[in-house]
Chains A and B, each alone.
Chain A
Amino acid sequence: SQQGEEDPQALSIQEGENATMNCSYKTSINNLQWYRQNSGRGLVHLILIRSNEREKHSGRLRVTLDTSKKSSSLLITASRAADTASYFCATDANSGNTPLVFGKGTRLSVIA
């Protein structure tokens, strides 16, 4: 069963606007990761946030994690047409090298 669930399923914004995607999960985690997938390609890792972290930044990306609510958000600031892709959150269980479990993803369209 899916561990993470992204919200919304699809998001359409204008270039220059910010995009926020949310992820909720069910069980305790070791870390939470966000991935991006361009059409016809494999997923690419964007950012990882550990369970003891609350916020992390990487360029135009900002990730927050609220373990009490079992939720995370990914913010992309000043979006570009090239940010058009699907975004997935992934979690691993709170023990060692257990496989990542992915959500169903959010499809982001950035209109130029």
Chain B
Amino acid sequence: DAGITQSPRHKVTETGTPVTLRCHQTENHRYMYWYRQDPGHGLRLIHYSYGVKDTDKGEVSDGYSVSRSKTEDFLLTLESATSSQTSVYFCAIKQGTDNSPLHFGNGTRLTVT
């Protein structure tokens, strides 16, 4: 799986609690992404990073923050989880070259009750 690990794989949390999902890569790739996948919506981009401490918002960034303090880790934080954030979250990585593909982790299934 291209040296990319997501943790935890499953999490159940209550509305209003903070949650942090971790994406760890061993490929030294420059780009890292967080997507969420929901029925009827496909994959939607939350945030992405193009280098250490360099991040930008995606299509559905409201309610989420990210941090990348080192190349190998990209953290996604839900400051105060809501039921609408129940989803499967995927991390992906990419080399810096223009036409290189994304490599995905196996996802984190998050349930907010």
Question: Which single residue of chain B is at the shortest CB-CB distance from A46?
Answer: B101
We find that the number of chain B residues with CB closer than 8 angstroms to chain A is: 27
Query: Which one of B1, B42, B105 lies within 8 Å of A104 (CB-CB)?
Result: B42
Docked CA distance A7–B7 (Å) = 33
Chain A-chain B contacts (Cβ-Cβ < 8 Å), number: 58
CB distance A43 to B42 under 8 Å?
A: no
* Known A30-B98, A42-B90, A97-B31; contact A104-B40, beta-carbon cutoff 8 A: yes
Contact size class for A?
20 to 34
Q: With a CB–CB cut-off of 8 A, which chain B residues contact A41?
A: 106-107
Docked CA distance A50–B97 (Å) = 14
The 6 closest A-B pairs by CB, nearest first: A42-B104, A45-B101, A104-B42, A102-B43, A43-B104, A42-B106
